[in-house]
Amino acid sequence: MAAIGVGSAENVLLKRLLFTVVALLIFRLGVHIPTPGVNAQALVQLTSQPGGGLLKVLNMFSGGALNRFSIFALGIFPYISASIIVQIMAVVLPALEQLQKEGGVGRQKLNRITRTLALGLALFQGFVFATGLEAVPDTAAGAVVLEKGIGFQLLSALLLAGGTVFVMWIGEQITEKGLGNGSSLLIFSGIVAYFPQNLGLVVADLGQGKISVLHALFILILAVTSVFGVAFIEQSYRKIPIHYARRTIGKRVMSVQASHLPMKVNMSGVIPAIFGSTLLAVPATFMGFAGGRSGNVWISDLMPSRWLYNSSFALLVIFFCYFYTSIVFKPDDIAENLKRQNAYIPGIRPGIETSDALDMVVTRLTLAGAVYMNLVCLLPVIVFKQSADYQFSLGGTSLLIVVGVGLDTVRQVSAQLATQRYENLSFFGKPQVDSDAAVSTSGSLEPRN
């Protein structure tokens, strides 16, 4: 019976893995399907210009779809933007906040709202993007748009929105039938698709004498060190001790039980880095399209490695770290849940004092997370001042996404194996399972065994 169970677990895991690989391959094939009416060579030149900062960022995250003006050029980003907007609006609108508390039914309604908003954003972004490409001056390879007009704008908006809907569907299928979070894996695959090109860039520069062997070795050491550093911080928690009051069940008196509340150092994830880099890339991109002397001056100041860019990015990351953490972590709800379940933090009274104590801890952790994110994102920019390609290859945003998604996928694989009650069978080592219950940051008690 044990052998049958082990084989069954292996088959389920293998099917999920194969489904994920096939879905990602379909996504990568769609990246190569271009939207009609665009000069691909001119678009490549446009994204390589100093003013193409935003286009370069989007092109990297989409795995090169923007260079071809593919039907997947917008990728999953309209859906991510819609999800963030819905999360923010849930803080303001009581109706959305109530849906969050209604369990599965409420989540389904929120998902429908998010999908509808994502479709609207995709149509709007596709139309604006097509209109912006028409306004771009001709490059050395000719005009970016071959046939300008309302027909091109509407066709591009419909195709890009349709591509976004299909990518959303692929992401949901991966989440449901595959391994890991589908949306994250789609972005992950786009970034990883650039790794061979980046490695070839280092080898080519080394062969042409642009960099020395010592410089190439330094790049390798920095990349490996950055990966290990990000993996260490992303798995770091501050454990707040939690005790449960003595309870009587029938004639049995349960003794005081101890557990902990795990609080991540980086609760906001990669959102602050994405928002900060995108907001700084937008003005530089539009000023680069407009041209002009004043625009070029501003572009030079807003380029990575310049003091204005670095200082502005650091401030934006700190702001978004605190802002997004305040949305995803609610000390009042957690304190109320602890009080209802007769749980308390030793030395702190339940209720408002517990909420204040949790708020103080999360404020300090968020500051540490903001400093860590700034170091990861700005270190490659400062070290590789003269090479924008190295900055994007080792950039903090892409590194945070790749390492974070990789760790999350490994955890899900281990969790599935643990669910089958075969803890000794794991491709990534024995999963860590605590015997005590742990309180999640969403405010609910979740047994981890």
- Predicted local distance difference test score (pLDDT) of residue 364: 92
Percent of the chain, pLDDT > 90?
A: 11
- Predicted local distance difference test score (pLDDT) of residue 445: 32
Q: Which CATH class is domain 194-449?
A: mainly alpha
Calpha distance 72→80 (Å, rounded): 15
Find the range with the poorest average confidence among 187-191, 292-296, 363-367, 368-372: 292-296
In which band, very low, low, confident or very high, does the pLDDT at 412 lie, cut at 50, 70 and 90?
confident
Calpha distance 82→444 (Å, rounded): 25
The answer, yes or no, to whether residue 166 has pLDDT greater than 90, is yes
Alpha-carbon distance values, 368 to 146, 239, 264, 267 (Å): 50, 15, 11, 11
Residue 94, judged by CB atoms within 10 A of its CB (0-12, 13-18, 19+), counts as: exposed
- Predicted local distance difference test score (pLDDT) of residue 117: 92
The tokens for 148 are 């300008």
Topology agreement, domain 16-180 and domain 194-449: yes
The tokens for 101 are 């508390």
The better pLDDT of the pair 152, 52 is held by: 152
Alpha-carbon distance values, 294 to 138, 169, 287 (Å): 20, 44, 9
Find the range with the poorest average confidence among 117-131, 179-193, 236-250: 236-250
15-59: per-residue pLDDT in tens? 888 999 999 999 988 888 888 888 777 777 766 655 455 566 666
- Predicted local distance difference test score (pLDDT) of residue 299: 55
- Predicted local distance difference test score (pLDDT) of residue 365: 92
Indicate the CATH number for domain 16-180: 1.10.3370.10
- Predicted local distance difference test score (pLDDT) of residue 67: 72
The three-class DSSP label of residue 141 is coil
CB of 66 closer than 8 Å to CB of 55? yes
- Predicted local distance difference test score (pLDDT) of residue 4: 47
332-342: per-residue pLDDT in tens? 888 888 888 88
Extents of the domains making up the chain: 16-180, 194-449
- Predicted local distance difference test score (pLDDT) of residue 151: 87
Alpha-carbon distance values, 274 to 48, 175, 407 (Å): 20, 22, 19
The answer, yes or no, to whether residue 76 has pLDDT greater than 60, is yes
